[in-house]
Structure 1
Amino acid sequence: MSQPLPEALAAVRAHLLDPDLLVRAVAGGRRRGSQPRWRRVELRYVDLKAGRHLQVTAYDETQAHTANHAVGDEAREAVDALLEEPFGNWHVETTTQSHQLRVTKKLEAVLHTSDRAAPVEADRGHDRGKDRLLPADDPVFRVLGLTDAQGRIKPSRQSKYRQVEEFLRLLAATLDDALEKGHLRRPTEDDPLRIVDLGCGNAYLTFAAQRYLGAVRGLPVVVTGVDVKEQSREHNSRVAEELGVQAEFVVGTIGGVELDPAPEVVLALHACDTATDEALAQAVRWGAQVVLAAPCCHHDVAAQLRAAPTPAPYALLTRHGILRERLADTLTDGLRAALLRIEGYRVDVVQFVESQHTPRNTMLRAVRTGAPDRAGSVRAEYDELVTSWAVRPRLAELLDAGRG
């Protein structure tokens, strides 16, 4: 139920100015017709030699800017200045509750508050390198074998930990945006958000998503992992039991799995070659509102490029094998993005994680808006591209088969 915006912001202000209870707060998005100075801001209290301070980290398009404000007048001035910015949403975590404020198109506020299952302790340290969405000593990393007995990330698992962290940041930003703009319903305890991880393997990201969204954010979620191996189902079910989380794992192919009710969020991370296409086609068939897919390998279009004559004047791009393979990667994901746009999704192709951590670092991020390609411009560009290069994407075949 909506309420006057000043009233809701006053409630948020009280939490932001509580140096004992505030764990972390994040503001982002924008209100209709306005643009805040910062893309995103994060707030937390830290203990310095001079006493407790409110630490504000503000992000523009290129970098982060951090400032510390003494508790009292300085902190109040900093908070009031941020509350005047036209952010579209605020997420505030305290030691006992989670608060989510969304500004509607009518410039009213929808404020949702949920209680934590158990109180948490705020980290007031100021010398850590980066505020992690899931700290290294979280139980999920111990159970998955990423940390040692002291809760430290093992040297050989640093890249996996970084991958999980960056995935969670993308997932959080995408869900916040979809919730803010009404493209995704707000979950309740009686009707939790349904998330599926297609080709989940050992389910590192499945468990991390469940842990972050459920335990940290306080969002009611239920996760399902799908993999072709019975061994994966047995292993992941044991992990879920040890962690005490609500997660189900089923054996099946990406293209053949049936889930009822259908999931609203589909994850497909590093599914090889056309398995990514099968995951995207399943997401479309289910009408999933949010899709995050990190492709792995692009053999199908690469083989088609080798078999077909190169259109003029692009022979230089396919003469050398390494360039042809890179072109196949770009062409495949560009065509996938176009097909999803034709199906009513808003699509971004973003960097998943820095290349030094994994070379498979491209992610397709899609949110179903339902906006049709009225002018047919996306379809026209897509048709021209596949005709020029004489390729037939696997995703197009799967989507056509689903309509047949």
Structure 2
Amino acid sequence: MASSPRPLAFSSPGFAYLAFTGFFVFGEFLYRAAINDLPADWQIWLLDTAAALATAVAFYVPYTIFLHGHFDSVRAHRQTIFKVRPVVVCVCHAATLLLVFSLLAIGGRAVGSPLNDPLGFRQAIQGGGAAYFLVAFLFFLKLQGLIYFSRWRSNSLTLLDHAAAATTIGFCLISGFASLFAYFFLAGMLFLNQRYSVRVVRLNLVVGFLALIVFVPLYTVVREQLRFGTQALSPDIWMTFYDRVSIDPLAVIYDRFDYFDSQTTGSIGARAYHDTGYITDTLFQPLPRSIYPEKPLTFSSTLTSKVLPEVYAMGVTVNFGFINEFILYFGDIGPFVAGAFFGMLLCISHYYFVRGGNDGNTCLIYILGFYPYVSGFPVGFLNDMPLPTLIISMAFLLSLGWGKWGVEVPADAVIRN
């Protein structure tokens, strides 16, 4: 009997938005409402979000109904297994190693050892031309995860696969971007869920996710202490953190992941500095700043410099979300434009999501190309990192052979359930 991937499966383009926004944005909204601590003008944020979501749903839901009604192929994982070509594996391992050494050299030249100054190291490798190396590393980090989990599925992992995974994850943990290691596992789980319908959302994953987001605030404290403190980590840090978590873990999490406050602040700030001319800044972003020193700022940097200049002066930018990016460009109609853009993006991505359930090559195109872009909603879609990431990812996908990354072979091997 014909079947197709579920519209709200873990690997679907809409799941990431629902899960992320549900916990980090609406979760904090409800938490802050319960303790009577909502920010001023939160109603404006709520109306903006409702308008954008309603518009996006108007595009996305009818398309998914149409697409699934015309999907008449049996899931291929019942008959075949996808194997990545050896040449792609070799290129991935070599490129990852080269990029790790390049980023270590760039960051080391700026601040020395990343262990002594992880925050400074992070800022060095994400700024200027180094950001392109970081984006390339992220692409191959995800490809490493896909290869690893694909070979795990077919019981064909090698010592080299383990070594490559350890090197990649190890660099993430010392780079100041410790949370990046999660992309290795996320890409692998997306592949298993999309290609083989493996159920990913389980109790152990939820517990692991909660443990990770509780750990990140502690890691942030340690990272900043190493840069701005005495280089000695006092036992008081651990006790203070433990006391805060034991009293109110949600307060600890939402103090660190302040997407709700950022979006609320952005709703007001984007209107105050609305200028359609900002949209043309996107055209100059591909140029390295070393070639064009006057290159305009990205959306996040622009709005941070306007509404939170003290934060921008520290070398930090705030993620205001894609809705506020369109408000900055289009004013009060921005939420509707944002919703239309997001809805069409979901439709395009959903097409590759459905096809990827039957074809491993399409699955890789979706996970490495379209999924990172559609999941860039916490930042911005036109003039921020998701767009360069999409362009660079597509360039790698084309250079390594669009749709020819692997082969489907008969499922005659022992496959894990």
TM-score, with length taken from structure 2 = 0.24
Structure with the higher fraction of residues in strand conformation: 1
Structure with the higher fraction of residues in helix conformation: 2
TM-score, with length taken from structure 1 = 0.24
Greater RCO (Cα-Cα under 8 Å, separation 6 or more): 2
